[in-house]
Amino acid sequence: MAQETFTFSPSALRSLRLQRELLEQEDRQRALARESATRRFLPTAPRPPPAPRRRPQYCRDPAVHNALYAGDLLRIKSIFRDETTTNLVMETVSEELVWSPEQGLWVLSPRRQQTSALRIATGRGFSDCARHLLLRGAEVDAVVGGRAPLHDSVAAPHPDCTRLLLAFGADPNVLSAEGWAPLHLCTAPDSLPCAELLLAHGARVNLGTRERQVTALHVAARQGLVAHLELYLRHGADPSHRNHQGETPLNAACAAAERPEDSGRYYRVVERLLSAGADPRAAGRKDHTPLHNVCGNGQAELAGLLLSHGADVTVTNCAGYTPMDCALHAVEEYRHRRPEETIALLLRHGAGPVHPKMLKFCCRHPPALELVLNTYDRVPPAHTWVEAVSPELWEEHRDFYSSAVAMAGQPRRLQHLARCAIRCHLGTRCHVAVPKLALPPALRHYLQLPLQGVIS
C-alpha cells in the first residue's frame, strides 16, 4: 500500500524490492528447516509418497536464450516467474558434419545441446539473474546437459555465483554426468576462491572422479597450481592417493612439466608434494616413476629435486627403459635446454652405461654423447650411431666426432679405467662421496666426468 500512496525514490524502491526477495528467501529456508526437523524428531511418521518425476519441458525460443546469455535481468524477470518456467530445459539444435560409414561421406547431422537457465546465469557470472531464478524455484542441483550450475560457476570461475549457489543449499559434491565434482573443475589460478568456498561448505577433498578416481590434488598438481595444492593439503588431501592408472599427484605433476616457462611453478608443486610425504619412487601409468617423467621432459632441476629425495635411477618402466634411457630419448627434442645436465645428474647418482643402441638418440648433441661414452671402459663400435650424424654437424664438431670414432673398440687410458673403477665402486654414492675424497681438486673434478670436447 505504501508504494501506491507515497512517492518513493528509485533507491528506496530498490531497497524495498531487495527486502522482499530476502524475506522470500528466509521463508524458503524456514520451510526447509521445518521439513528437516520433522524428519529428525519424528522418524516413525509415515513418509509421504514420492512425487512423480516431472517430465522435462523444453524451451527453444532464441529470444529467451538471448536474454539469459546477455544477462538481461528485466526480461528474465518477465519470463521466469514461477518454478515451472525457471526449470525449463534450454535446448539448441545445430548442424555439424559427421562421417557416415554407410554412405561413405560426410553428412550434416543435428546436434542437440541442453542446459538450464540457472546454468547459463551462473556460468556467465550473472549473479542477480541467478538470484532471481533461485527465488523463483530453480532447482539448485539439477544436472541438465551433463552439469549442475555449481560446475559451471567454478569452471568459469565466478566466485560470487558459487557463493550464491552454496547459500541456497547447493551440494558441493554434486557429480556431473561424467562423474566430476565441482572441486575437480577448479583448474585455473583464479578459481582459488571457488575452491575455498567449496571446502568451507563441505566439499570432500579426497573425492575421486567416478571412473578415473582423479582427486582435486591430482588436478592441481597436473595444472601446476601451487596455491590450490597447498589449500588441499591443509584440508587433508592425501598425496599418496592413486587414480585408476596408479598415478599419484606427484606422477601427474612430473608428467605435465613439459614447457620450460612452467618449470618454476612445477618445481614448487613437486617440492611441496615431497615435503608432504609423496613417494618419489611411486610408479604410475606404464610403470613410469616421477623420475622417468621429468627425464623424458628434459627437466634437470626437477630431476635433481627427486634424486635428492631418494628417487631410483636404476628402476625400469614397462618398456624396460631406465630414467637415463628416457633422458637420452629426449636429447634431440630438448637440445636447447642443456640435456647433458640431466644426464650428468643421473650419472652422479649411480646410473651406469647404457646399451650401445641408445647412443643414436644422443649422438647429434656432442656434450651428451661425450658424457655417455665416458661411462664405458671401452668405447662401443661407432656403427650404432655414426650414420645418424649429418655431414654439417660432423664438420661443425669434427675434432670430437673424429676422436670418438678413432677410439671405438680401443682400450682407454689407464687414468680413465681408474675413474670407471672408482665410480663403479661408489655407485649411487658418487654425488656424495667424490667431493669428500682426499684427492687433489683436479682429480676430484676428473672423477665427475667433466666435458673436454674429445674422447681420449
**Which structural domains are found in the chain, ordered by start?**
57-96+108-174 (1.25.40.20), 205-351 (1.25.40.20), 355-456 (no CATH)
Check if the beta carbon of residue 3 is closer than 8 Å to that of residue 13.
yes
pLDDT digits (tens, 9 = 90+) for 182-219: 999 999 999 999 999 999 999 999 999 999 999 999 99
In DSSP terms, 98 is beta-bridged to 107
Between 9 and 61, whose confidence is greater?
A: 61
Tell me how crowded residue 360 is: count the other CB atoms within 10 A of its CB.
17
Which contiguous run of DSSP H or E holds residue 66? helix 62-70
pLDDT band at 112 (very low <50, low <70, confident <90, very high): confident
d(CA 303, CA 385): 26
Alpha helices, H only, 71-116: 73-79, 83-86
pTM for this predicted structure: 0.82
- Across the chain, mean pLDDT equals 89
pLDDT at 42: 45
- At 98, is the pLDDT very low, low, confident or very high (cuts 50, 70, 90)? confident
Residue 309 has pLDDT above 70, yes or no: yes
How far apart are alpha carbons 270 and 255 in whole angstroms?
Answer: 11
Question: Taking the CB of residue 185, how many other CB atoms lie within 10 A of it?
Answer: 24
Question: Are the CB atoms for 203 and 169 separated by under 8 Å?
Answer: no
Whether 107 shows a pLDDT value over 90: the answer reads no
Q: Return the ∠ at Cα 317 (arms to 302 and 256), rounded to 5°.
A: 40
Is the model more confident about 391 or about 49? 391
Q: Pick from 304, 207, 291, 286: which is nearest to 250 by CA?
A: 291
Mean per-residue pLDDT, 19-27:
66
pLDDT at 280: 96
- Residue 15's DSSP bridge partners are none
The pLDDT tens digits of the residues spanning 381-404 come to 999 899 999 999 999 999 999 999
Residue 290 main-chain phi, psi, to 5 deg: -55, -35
Q: List the beta bridge partners of residue 411.
A: 378
Q: Do the Cβ atoms of 171 and 159 come closer than 8 Å? A: no
- Residue 105, helix vs strand vs coil: strand
pLDDT at 28 over 50: yes
Which whole-number Å values give the CA distances from 454 to 362, 367, 382, 405, in the listed order?
A: 16, 10, 15, 11
Lowest mean pLDDT among 87-91, 128-132, 421-425: 421-425
Residue 413 has pLDDT above 70, yes or no: yes
CA 236 to chain centre: 19
pLDDT at residue 230, as a whole number: 97
d(CA 240, CA 228) in angstroms, rounded, equals 17
The C-alpha atoms of residue 133 and residue 140 are separated, in whole angstroms, by 9
Please tell me the predicted confidence (pLDDT) of residue 21. 65
Cβ atoms of residues 369 and 361 within 8 Å: no
Q: What would the grid cell of residue 261 be?
A: 616457462
Q: What is the pLDDT of residue 158?
A: 97
Q: What is the mean pLDDT of residues 77-91?
A: 95
Q: Find residue 97's DSSP bridge partners.
A: 108
Which H, E and C letters describe 393-440, residue by residue? HHHHCHHHHHHHHHCCCCECCHHHHHHHHHHHHHHHHHHHHHHHCCCC
Is residue 387 within 8 Å of 357, Cβ to Cβ? no
Bin 447: left if φ > 0, else alpha if -120 < ψ < 50, else beta: alpha
- Residue 135: per-residue pLDDT: 96
Whole-number pLDDT of residue 14: 57
**Tens digits of per-residue pLDDT, 145-182?**
999 999 999 999 999 999 999 999 999 999 999 999 99
Condensed to tens digits (0 to 9), the pLDDT of residues 268-300 reads 999 999 999 999 999 998 999 999 999 999 999
Instruction: Render the burial of 207-229: b for 16+ CB within 10 Å, e for the rest.
Output: bbbeebbbbbbbbbbbbbbbebb
Judge residue 257's burial from the number of C-beta atoms within 10 Å of its C-beta, 0-12 exposed, 13-18 middle, 19 or more buried: buried
Within its chain, how far is the Cα of 166 from the centroid?
25
pLDDT of residue 23: 65
User: What is the pairing mode between strands 58-59 and 105-116?
Assistant: unpaired
